[in-house]
Structure 1
Amino acid sequence: MITGFDFGTSNCAMGVVEPSENNAETVTLLPLENGKAFVPSTLYALERELICESVGLQITNPSLKEEYIGLRSGPLAQARRVRLEEGIEQDEQSLFFGHAAFEQYFSLPEEGYFVKSPKSFLGSSGLRAESINFFEDIVTAMMQSIKQRAEKSLGENINHTVIGRPVNFQGIDAEKSNQQAIDILTVSAKRAGFQSVEFLFEPIAAGLNFETRLTEDKTVLVVDVGGGTTDCAMVRMGPSHRNNVDRKADFLGHSGERVGGNDLDIQLAGKCLMPLFGMQSIMKSGLPVPTQPFWNAVTTNNVGAQSSFNSQQTGFQLEQLLLDASQPHLIQRFIDLRDEKQNHHVVRSSEQCKIALSSLDQSYVDLSYIEANLGCDVSRSDFSEAISRPLSRMVALMEDAVAQAGCQPDLIYVTGGSAQSPVIRKAIEQKLGSIEVVDGDHFGSVAAGLTVWAQRIFS
């Protein structure tokens, strides 16, 4: 079976082409969790060492399994020790994915190992071999789970896939970063059981899905505001182009950067929620409290920031701040958040606020899971001000793609979960003028386009 696989920063989805009436073929996104097509890109493990063990147990290809066991002999032995020490039985569920991972983390944030949006880390610079191996295991475990769910839904094996990729996984040393991320995804996909793996730029995939609706040729600026990146592509599309297998001549320009919905959540959390934990407060000396620990707390898509936030040095710094602060109760609240590992939960609350502000002028952020009656109101104007920096970078990417093409688009096709925000829509319209802006399936367009391309190259 052939699939398109959107291994997304925020959500994952998988699609297949199925026959419909009059022998026509339609793209169907497979139910992956509770009958829904989208599963959050999250993993929770009772102990992080058990991720490696789970991967090894579920590799079905004998040669790949043998190779993996040889490569991970040390971590696998450590996993066995952890099971014995923690009293975790072999038949006890040790890994959780999607909403179940969120539920486990929310109920026991200070225990276990929780990761959200692993795709954000794959292109990180300076990763040691051990870190790359660990990210391979996280991605493989997630892919194994998603593939098994999809196959259960289909009732048959999935062998070939096209996986979406951003234009750039990271902004620094992009070529090396991109290769590292693609290597991790390829190795993981093969260990998850895919025999053939290809990749396609996500904005182009979104454009392919939109192209099926066009009745005349157009030059389209595709703007995909994903969870981890914003990717733009200027593409000639329509009836004269869509049946071509080689589309290189139709792609007039593309741009992409690691700035997406997660960055909007982080900025909103930092500027609107972190003041409740002491950010922007004053020390007894009259100087402002250092802001870096607070930004590190909410920058959950950055390995370095999270390492720093959880370091012993930050612990010592916060103990000193507690003595020097003019409002020590705020710093203590922040220390409690850190001790109980609730920073991911705060960013999740920020994300839910962002989503609410797509349809509301104001939303209340409830933080009572940290302290009774804790929370604040956030307006759409507050959100607009908080995200001004990443939003300006998104608009610059659109301008770059248009400049590369050397022509103006006939229309703008916007997709991606964060593209639903009226604040982002307004910025696009203000910058690119009176060009028609068309909304796509904000969550399913990439998966659908990947499926269209997979069917074209594998069938």
Structure 2
Amino acid sequence: MSSPSTDLPRDFCAIDFGTSNSAVAVPDAARPGAMRLVPLEDDKVTMPTAVFYYAEGRHDADGPPRAFGRAAMAAYEEGVDGRLMRSMKSILGSSLIDQVTDVGGGRGVKYADMLAGYLKRLRRQAARDGHEPRRVVLGRPVYFVDGEPERDAAAQASLAAAARAVGFEDVHFQFEPIAAAFDFEQQADREQLVLVADIGGGTSDFSLVRVGPERIQRLDRREDILANHGVHIAGTDFDRHIELTGILREFGYRALGPAKPGQTPREVPSGVYFDLATWHLINTCYSPQRVIELRNMKGFYGDPRHHQRLMTVLEERLGHELAHRAEEAKIEVAAGGDCMIDLGLIESGLSVTLSEGAAMSALRDDIERIAQAGRETVERAGLKPSDVDALYFTGGSTGLTVLADRIAADFPAARPVRGDRFASVATGLGLHAARLFAA
């Protein structure tokens, strides 16, 4: 990861704060003028964007007892008493950012403080070589919130405030797909137009960028950014559709109520199922008032087993486990074939089979909307699909082959290139930060 200067200052870093995974780039002491990705957990340069709050333990100077990244996921999977938080980036731009949520043990934590705590962990890892960064370039999606500029601006302001709260004095932003274009540019041997498809856990972003060896050292690249566009649809939406289609039907989603003479059976109310399939809303299903309300709805269900299973999920707080199994099922089906989802933790012997066809049917509309955003990006630049020289795929969700193939189908003349799905954006942000702060 080279940069334009042979002698970089050491007081800055670049952070890719992702919906699912995060990464950090810092100046490389061993290679003057270069950047490197920081190992965040052992030798791994990416870390799940996850925090686990322990129900027991004392506060210290950093706050309530908690674990981050893979350690957070391990604590959750091992059944430790507490609460796992993921998809924290999805909270930006919503009213939840200033609200307090229960994390167990009688503790409440403000969502904004939760986000800041994770950024503090990343900043601390960036300072492992003794140089504490006070300046940062943060990645951001093209849109935090689709079609609502005020909420989008508020989302960036909240992220900037969290960064300043943990010690960053100078905060800059760069669009994530443009950062990925800078990563792609390192291997470009000629000038070309690249359409970057950055599809992660929360957003699908596209940027059409002019890259080339003669442009790589320029700090001001505004004239090279021909268009950008995005939609708030990505991996967590895929997981939600898989959970609703492949799991929650066994718990009453889209089921009918009891048959009554002269009446058509009515569908069971679906609000709780959508909340159970949305990571940052799952905990709202556990409030005592809501549990009582849903317990009293037993008569709404034509099949009492559905209601019994739903209450087991709510009373034993198994919603995050169901969401986790939906994510695993998506990954397994994406690799090809059907998969069996074991739900024995809810009811002995309970399982469902998710067919590849059913999964793709559940995801089809979202995949089409994402592909449309790619086409619209090129149209916004006043160009045609045939003008695109390369497609650069990055972000965890581009591992879904059917999605990448669908996007590529609209640009048959473009050369598809796959970057590091989890580190391309951080690498590009590092390159941009080096040029910015060296200047």
Please tell me the TM-score bracket, short chain as reference.
0.7 to 0.9
Residue type of the partner of 2:86?
K
* Residue 368 (structure 1) aligned to one of 344, 347, 353: 344
Q: Distance in 2 between matches of 1:30 and 1:94?
A: 24
CA RMSD of aligned residues (A): 2.6
Greater shift, 199-208 or 33-42, is seen at 33-42
1:336 maps to amino acid: T
SS of equivalent residue, structure 2 residue 127: helix
State the Cα distance separating 1:437 from its structure 2 match.
Answer: 1.7
Q: Per-residue deviation at 1:130? A: 4.5
Other-structure match for 1:97: 68
Distance 1:190 1:47 in 2: 28
Tell me the residue number matched to 2:3.
Answer: none
Match for 2:170 among 182, 186, 196?
196
Specify every segment of 5 or more residues in structure 1 that has no aligned partner in the other structure, as ranges: 59-78, 80-92
Structure 1 residue corresponding to 2:90, chosen from 108, 113, 120: 120
Q: 2:191 is matched with which residue?
A: 217
Shift of 1:47: 5.2
Task: For 2:188, give the aligned amino acid.
Answer: L
Which residue does 2:45 correspond to in 1? 37
Question: Does 1:454 pair with 2:429?
Answer: no
Q: How far 1:385 sits from its partner (Å)? A: 0.8
Report the alpha carbon displacement of residue 45 of structure 1 after superposing the two structures with TM: 1.7
CA contact (8 A) 1:293 1:314 kept: no
Deviations 1:303-322 (A, max 9, x none): 5x764x34556434532442
Once structures 1 and 2 are overlaid, which stretch shifts more, 322-331 or 402-411? 322-331
Is the contact between residue 98 and residue 112 of structure 2 (CA under 8 Å) also seen in structure 1? Answer: no
Distance 1:167 1:190 in 2: 22
Question: How many Å separate the matches in 2 of 1:196 and 1:105?
Answer: 35
Which residue of structure 2 aligns with residue 89 of structure 1? Answer: none
Q: 1:433-457 deviations in whole A, cap 9, x for unaligned?
A: 3432211111110010011111111
Residue correspondence of structure 1 range 249-328 to structure 2 within 5 A: 249-285=223-259, 286-301=265-280, 303=281, 307=284, 309-311=285-287, 314-328=290-304
TM-score w.r.t. the length of structure 2 is: 0.86
Q: Give a deviation string over 1:153-198, Cα, whole Å, max 9, x none.
A: x34323322110011111252x222222222222221222223221
> 2:35 and 2:334 mapped to 1: Cα distance?
28
Candidates 149, 169, 173, aligned match of 2:144:
169
Aligned length: 413
Out of 314, 317, 327, the position equivalent to 1:338 is 314
Instruction: Give TM-score scaled by structure 1 length.
Output: 0.83
Shift of 1:41: 1.0
SS in 2 for 1:161: strand
Q: Deviations over 1:36-62 (max 9, x none)?
A: 111111112235998xx66xx34xxxx
1: distance between equivalents of 2:96 and 2:338?
41
1:175-223 Cα distance to aligned partner (Å, 9 max, x none): 2222222222222212222232211000001111111110001111111
Query: Do the aligned partners of 1:17 and 1:452 also contact (CA within 8 Å) in 2?
Result: no
**What secondary structure is seen at the aligned counterpart in 2 of 1:6?**
strand
Of 342-351 and 131-140, more deviation after overlay is shown by: 131-140
Q: Structure 1 residues 306, 130: CA separation in 2 closer, same or farther (over 3 Å shift)?
A: closer
Which of 346, 354, 379 is 2:355 aligned to? Answer: 379
What is the distance in 2 between the residues matched to 1:140 and 1:193?
10
Which amino acid in 2 is paired with 1:456? R
Contact 2:96 2:111 in 1 (8 A): no
Matched residue, 1:18:
28
**One-letter amino acid matched to 1:441:** D
Hey, what does 1:156 align to over in structure 2?
131
Q: Aligned partners of 2:166 and 2:57: how far apart in 1? A: 18
Larger deviation: 240-249 or 425-434?
A: 425-434
* Secondary structure in structure 2 of the residue aligned to 1:432: coil
Query: How many Å separate the matches in 2 of 1:355 and 1:18?
Result: 35
- Which structure has the highest helix share of the two? 1
Q: How far apart are the structure 2 equivalents of 1:149 and 1:244?
A: 29
Q: Partner of 2:28: helix, strand, or coil?
A: strand
On the 8 A contact 1:230/1:394 being kept in 2, the answer is: yes
Which consecutive residues of structure 2, in runs of 5 or more, have no partner in the other structure?
1-9, 102-108, 260-264
% identical equivalent positions: 29
